[in-house]
Structure 1
Amino acid sequence: MRQKRAKSYRKQMLVYHHNFKFREPYQVLVDDQIVCDTHKASFDLVKGLQRTLQAEVKPMITQCCIQAIYETKNQDAIDLAKSFERRRCNHPPKEAKPPLECLESVVCVNGTNKHRYVVASQDPKIRGVLRRVPGVPMIFMNRSVMVMEPLSRSSERLSKDQEKQKLYKGLNDPQLAGKPAVEDTTHKDGAVTSEQTASKKRKGPKGPNPLSVKKAKASSTAGDATGDLADSKPVVSNSEAKPARRRKRSHKSSAPGEEKREDNAEDQNDGDSG
């Protein structure tokens, strides 16, 4: 039975750890009744809290709860309460409030357990009031056995809502689907405005995979040499190039005298043109 309780308490503290950001050592607020009852039963309060929470604890007490212990005139209980860390509740000793109002004002800040306290109280009224605040683990004594209450309805409801938000957070959030990112821009006058910028997408077809493209073959040295010689040749324009001289072919049937006449006529034509 003890192992089952320890396992269930471990699961509960994991919920407080992940959903309500509880960290070790846990801050435990004790009231006046649990201090007096544990001292009367010769029960070690600090070790009992460590066994229940299965971690290091930092016991704390408010000034109003110490004032209530002073009224009992139990010096041993007073010395035990003084050994705990004092939690300021902003209630002067002359205007001390009942432990119920004091613990409620310290634990419940704007409807949440802001400072992440674990409350150890023997008063059922205090546990009933703090049960409405989400994220408040509560411990009490039952026949010299320290017991942790299961998750309250408010704590269980808030933890379920946070688990749902984790599923739809980021890209899976339907409220943010298809909306561009928001960027803050600061102007010269100091005003800050938020602008929605769409993600830039590359247009056009993508290039081939560079790993799948074959490398170009290196040209031969002979080809490079011929290419260099070809490039080194001077380029002559068409206007500067002289027309090639055409020679008429002589037919075998023509007489030798006729060939001489044709050659003389060509020489004469060249001289006139010159």
Structure 2
Amino acid sequence: MRLKKQKRHRKIVRFYTACFGFREPFKVLCDGTFVNHLLVNRITPADTALSNILGATVKIFTTRCVLAELKSLGESYSESLKAATNLITARCDHEKRKSAVACITEIIGAGNPEHFFVATQDADLRKKFQELPGVPLIFGLRNALLLEPPSAFQRRFAKSTEEERSQMSELEYKMLRMKKKTTLATEEAMESYVNESEGDQNLHTQTVTKTNTGRKRKEVKDKVQFKRKKAKGPNPLSCKKKKNCGHSMFGAKKESKNESETTRSMSRKRKRSRKGKKLEETNG
């Protein structure tokens, strides 16, 4: 149950921070009934109990009118008066003393500009603040403190403000139109400047080409006209010789025959050396 309650409280706090701009440390404005409830049920210290609910640091406030009302109630509320005097007193700009309900409603105003969490046990005051946008309410139930969920009116108001934020206002629309006009004027000026510069460049290129062509023609007349070289055939030294496939075998046979004949003729004609004869004669 505790986890579910904490999740619910976190959701409510997130709603008020996102839609109405509440920021840490959260300011809690207490009346006399809430201070008395804390003391009777011994929910102390109050700042830790409230910070556990809201999940952030807390500053507790009260008003001079609330303190005066507690003083007027007598000795039965003396302890709650002492506890209330220790709280920070919020500034209320009215000369005469008012009731606690009137004083708190005046401080909260129409849109709660100070971003107060209102802590009260008064059911009528809670109903009254449920019809105002951006006023979160805290109340006590026995030993527990609860954060009241946002009312249907507050949810509708938050939705309508979100839709208004998404749409453009008249001032923003006028600003956008002025911006469009200025951008169009600058674009037109840039285009005209670019066109002028391109025209100047074309004229310059035309004059340059005319002068170049005139010069080329003069140069062509002065220069000697050579004949074009025709494409030559391949280098015969770099080409491979053709192979005679048909006559190769016959040529080889003829060569072999000639070689054999020469060898035979060489073998038949044998020269005898004269030195042998001389040796035989000497030996004989």
Tell me which of 61, 75, 79 is aligned to 2:78. Answer: 75
How far the C-alpha of 1:75 sits from its partner, in A, is 3.0
CA RMSD, Structure 1 to Structure 2 (Å): 2.9
Distance in 2 of aligned mates of 1:37 and 1:6: 21
Q: CA deviation at 1:178?
A: 11
Asked if 1:145 is matched to 2:144, the reply is yes
Normalised by the length of structure 2, the TM-score is 0.59
Q: Deviations over 1:36-60 (max 9, x none)?
A: 1111111122222111111111100
The residue that corresponds to 1:99 in the other structure is 100
Greater RCO (Cα-Cα under 8 Å, separation 6 or more): 2
Question: What is the aligned partner in structure 1 of residue 258 from structure 2?
Answer: none
Counterparts of residues 7-86 of structure 1 (less than 5 Å): 7-44=7-44, 45-70=46-71, 71-73=73-75, 74-86=77-89
Do the aligned partners of residues 36 and 72 (structure 1) sit closer, same or farther apart at CA in structure 2, a change above 3 Å counting? Answer: farther
Instruction: Please state whether the residue corresponding to 2:135 is helix, strand or coil.
Output: coil
Stretches of structure 1 lacking an aligned partner (at least 5 in a row): 183-195, 208-229, 231-274
Distance 1:178 1:49, change over 3 A: closer
Q: Distance in 2 between matches of 1:30 and 1:50?
A: 14
Q: Number of residue pairs matched?
A: 188
User: Is residue 87 from structure 1 mapped to residue 90 from structure 2 by the alignment?
Assistant: yes
Instruction: Report which stretch shifted further, 64-73 or 33-42.
Output: 64-73
Name the larger-Rg structure: 2
- Comparing 17-26 with 54-63, greater Cα deviation is found at 17-26
Which residue in the other structure is 1:197 paired with?
A: 181
- Higher normalized strand content (fraction of residues): 1
Partners of 2:111 and 2:132 within 8 A in 1: yes
| Counterpart-to-counterpart distance in 1, 2:79 and 2:118 | 22
| Percent of residue pairs identical | 26
Q: Matches of residues 163-202 of structure 1 in structure 2 within 5 Å?
A: 163-169=162-168, 176=173, 180-181=177-178, 197-200=181-184, 202=187
2:89 match: secondary structure: strand
Letter in 2 for 1:88: R
C-alpha change, 1:177 and 1:125, in structure 2 (3 Å) is same
Query: Secondary structure in 2 aligned to 1:24?
Result: coil
Which stretches in structure 2 are left out of the alignment for 5+ residues?
A: 195-214, 216-284
